Amino acid sequence: MNFKKEIGVGIFFLLLSVFYLLSTLSISTFDPFSSGRSGIILDSRSLPQMLGILLACLSIIHIIGNVLKLRKTKLESGSDTQAVMKKPFKFERPQRLMVITVLLICAYIFFYVRLGFILSSVLFLLLQIFILTPAEKRKKWAIFTVCFSIGVPILLYFLFTRVISMYLPRGLLG
């Protein structure tokens, strides 16, 4: 196991959690539980902030665990570890899929308001499922993929707008 990569992943998620926590400060607060009394403060920021703190804690635990494993491995095998860790980096399928997924998420965020929830979600799901499905199975699952990618965003849109009364961007369909 390449512990340096794992430490890098932990640092990435720690930085992401810091950015996320800073972003939660811009959430407008709504306190449905207050009736003029003081006590535990639960508002619209509470859950996102708890999730950000949880992500930061898990990232720190991940970093510390891998630093300890790296030290233990170095002590056990001496200089052999250095030779193993200096292998050239290969950009294999899992790494490509991760990069493509991150790019698709960025594109989804960019087009979310412009195209609307339904269109951007349909495109995102279609592309993501197409990319993650092995090439030999794409034909077999094509009809299911298209139906799923169209049905789920429409179902979610109606759930949010009709049941929860939380309006999502309409975009080009609006």
Q: How far apart are CA 85 and CA 4, in angstroms?
A: 8
Check: CB of residue 145 under 8 Å from CB of residue 129.
yes
pLDDT per residue of the chain (174 residues) written in tens, 0 to 9: 688 888 888 899 899 999 988 988 887 776 655 555 555 566 777 778 888 899 899 999 999 998 888 888 888 876 554 555 555 656 677 888 888 998 999 999 888 888 989 999 999 999 999 999 999 999 999 999 999 999 999 999 998 888 888 888 887 776
Query: Smallest Cα–Cα separation from 109: which of 99, 97, 121?
Result: 121
pLDDT for position 81? 46
Check: CB of residue 148 under 8 Å from CB of residue 129.
yes
Q: How far apart are CA 56 and CA 21, in angstroms?
A: 9
Check: CB of residue 60 under 8 Å from CB of residue 17.
no
pTM for this entry: 0.55
pLDDT for position 123? 96
Q: Quickly count: other Cβ atoms within 10 Å of residue 118's Cβ.
A: 21
pLDDT for position 112? 86
How far lies 7's CA from each of 12, 75, 115, 172, in Å?
Answer: 9, 18, 37, 43
